[in-house]
Amino acid sequence: MKINLVKILVATIIVSVLLAPMATPPAIAQPRYGGTLIWGMGSDPALPGLLGAGSGTFLMQQVAHQMFNTLVAHDFNTGEWRPELAEKWDVSPDGLTLKFYLIKNATWHDGKPFTSADVKYSFEKVNPVYNGFASMFIKAMKSIEAPDDYTLVINMKTPWPAMFSPVQGFGGVGWSIVPKHLYEGVDLATNKYNNEPVGTGPWKFKEWVRGDHITLVKNEKYWKKGIPYLDQMIFKIIPTASGRELAFEKGEVDLLWAMTLGYPEGVALEDNIKAGKVTGKKVWFYPSQSGSVDVLYFNLQPTGPAFFKDVRVRKAIAYAVDVKKINELVYYNKATLLTGPVSPAPATSWYCDPNLKQPTYDPAMANKLLDEAGYKKGSDGIRFKFRITVDSSGYPNHVKEGEVMRDFLKDVGIELNIVTLDTPAWHDAVFKRWDYDTFVFPMSTGPDPLLIIRYYTGKGIEPISWSNAGGYNNSKVNELFYASEVEPNRAKRADLVKQATKILVDEQAAFWMVARPYVTAVNQDFSDQYQPGAWEYTGGVCFARTERVFWLKAPAPTTTTTVAPPAAPGIDMNTVALIVAIVIIGAGVAYWLKKPKSKAT
């Protein structure tokens, strides 16, 4: 049988050239063990302290959730569930029955085994107390069963599609699982483990020095083997945004996540880096993953100011303030102007109605409406006065926002007084005691409409953080939003939400100002190469924990790691490379055997 050696050689050369990049993976840096990452934050966490199943406050959960795990995690790009404490699951077609199969190698930081009883207890007894989204879930749920230590079954009365949301659902903010054996039979509010957490997560609690710092150390027995890479993380409390920026520039802080860096400071830092005045650092602005917006909330509670009960006054305030100036002076034109309740960000665009148009800057119309409402200017030129209450430590830009509004409102005869509070005091005054006239609500509007359902309906009127503290309550809006809450069809949900938000705009339930970007700064001595997206997603949005970030200056590993790019499904590239090599060698041998032997001369 004849062998066409030329064809064999040509074919094998072509195949080997095409497959060479896949068969020879590039060498990349191996993660290093050791080092301390120092975060900057504005204040001590508010009640309930460091409880991962506690308040859905982003700035507080950036500490708490590092020590815990959630039932499921979420893919950064698609938002879909991925394994965490549950390694797999089954969901019935109607969404009413969910069965979770839990991992079997996780232990609590005190050595006790993690079981399904912990998830059942957390979902029933802890999460709903502090987490408004969990309280909404529990009302839609029929029962939770734990037939054995590593199986959990959830039976729903109605569908609750928000459970799949990356922020509001089972893998989101305030949904961490707590140890039943340390909470059962103990008063939840005063449990010492709220401030000395015991979790299953990559980081263990070490100390909390109020007003100064919180220290977490590596969990050497973390159920995800080989991580975390860092030895510890310290959350340093620096009350002012300028102080946090200075500490970052001086190298005293390595990470300022999302809202801990003010916009003036972020822009100044950006300029200093570009000018070469600050080296080895990075700062960037990026879209909020949760559709973050700034909203002026009116106190429409029965005890709130009488003038806010008149829709003409609420619309007059919207006409009186030029939001373009807020964007320019507060957000350095990096924000997006709002025309209604939902952010136009990619995460929330599917239920954002672009046709909604709230009032735009028109002081003449503002004066006309205030006159019609019976609030004439007095001899001092003032019609009435009210307070705006802001969180000056967690959201320092809101102070400047209040100052801009104060100047515009003065022009139409309204006197605005700014009340600044630190984060815990702000939550207490605004959400718990409703002791305010207006406040700037740094709310998220997604990525599921559950959030705006909570912030604008009757069921959200309760004295807990991130609730409908404004007290707006319209039966038709409730009906539409409640229907959307249990509607499994995405397009129908979006339509119901759009109908409800149109009424919100018609009644000027609030004054929607800007959609905010996040701004993060990081010391580039730390790498997220093995956890892409860590800097954006590992903070309070709770998509992930800082478990694979490593310090580039840690001792170098003694071995080299190579990582191959993804292979085509069903193909083992090492096997292919071996076959190619064999073919080439075989062809060479065959050619040599058939080559005519030269005669001796």
pTM, entire model = 0.75
DSSP state of 123: I
3-class secondary structure, 54: coil
- What percent of the chain is predicted at pLDDT more than 90? 70
Are 175 and 97 members of one domain? yes
Q: What is the pLDDT, as a whole number, of residue 111?
A: 98
Q: Give pLDDT tens digits for 339-390.
A: 999 999 888 999 999 999 999 999 999 999 999 999 999 999 999 999 999 9
Taking the CA of residue 57 as centre, how many other CA atoms within 13 Å lie in the half-sphere pointing to its CB?
A: 29
Contacts of 553 (CB under 8 A, 6+ apart): 35, 525
Residue 330 lies in a domain: yes
- Return mean pLDDT, the chain: 88
Residue 157 lies in a domain: yes
Residue 223 lies in a domain: yes
Residue 559 lies in a domain: no
**What's the average model confidence in pLDDT over 510-516?**
97
Closest among 512, 484, 511 to 498, alpha carbons compared? 484
Are 524 and 382 members of one domain? no
Are 503 and 546 members of one domain? no
C-alpha 146: how far from its chain's center? 29
Is pLDDT of 68 > 80?
A: yes
Is pLDDT of 527 > 50?
A: yes
Q: How far apart (Å, rounded) are the C-alpha atoms in residues 323 and 335?
A: 10
Largest CA distance in the chain: 126
The amino acid sitting at 280 is G
The rounded radius of gyration (Å) of the Cα atoms in the chain is 29
Retrieve residue 572's tokens: 């083992």
Q: What is the pLDDT, as a whole number, of residue 23?
A: 39
Are 266 and 239 members of one domain? yes
Residue 599 lies in a domain: no
Closest among 542, 520, 538 to 244, alpha carbons compared? 520
Are 363 and 507 members of one domain? yes
Residue 153 lies in a domain: yes
Q: What is the pLDDT, as a whole number, of residue 29?
A: 67
Q: What is the pLDDT, as a whole number, of residue 53?
A: 86
Q: How far apart (Å, rounded) are the C-alpha atoms in residues 132 and 467?
A: 7
Phi first, then psi, for residue 193 (nearest 5°) are: -80, -5
Closest among 119, 117, 155, 163 to 137, alpha carbons compared? 163
Are 510 and 523 members of one domain? no
Q: What is the pLDDT, as a whole number, of residue 77?
A: 77
Are 330 and 442 members of one domain? yes
Q: What is the pLDDT, as a whole number, of residue 434?
A: 98
Is pLDDT of 585 > 60?
A: no
Domain hosting 325: range is 293-516
Confidence of residue 8 (pLDDT cuts 50, 70, 90): very low
Are 81 and 178 members of one domain? yes
**What's the average model confidence in pLDDT over 104-123?**
98
Which spans in 106-262 are helix H? Answer: 116-121, 127-130, 132-140, 180-183, 241-249
Number of domains comprising the chain: 3
Other CB atoms within a 10 A radius of the CB of residue 475 amount to 9
Q: What is the pLDDT, as a whole number, of residue 494?
A: 97
Are 492 and 523 members of one domain? no
Is pLDDT of 573 > 80?
A: no
Q: Give pLDDT tens digits for 69-83.
A: 999 998 877 889 999
Confidence of residue 97 (pLDDT cuts 50, 70, 90): very high
Are 410 and 529 members of one domain? no
Residue 566 lies in a domain: no
Q: How far apart (Å, rounded) are the C-alpha atoms in residues 234 and 213?
A: 7
Other CB atoms within a 10 A radius of the CB of residue 45 amount to 26
Other CB atoms within a 10 A radius of the CB of residue 271 amount to 12
Are 421 and 441 members of one domain? yes
Q: Give pLDDT tens digits for 288-344.
A: 888 999 999 999 999 999 999 999 999 999 999 999 999 999 999 999 999 999 999
**What's the average model confidence in pLDDT over 448-460?**
90
Q: How far apart (Å, rounded) are the C-alpha atoms in residues 262 and 395?
A: 7
Are 281 and 300 members of one domain? no
> CA dist 356 to 352, 381, 482, Å?
9, 33, 21
Q: What is the pLDDT, as a whole number, of residue 133?
A: 82
Q: How far apart (Å, rounded) are the C-alpha atoms in residues 413 and 33?
A: 62
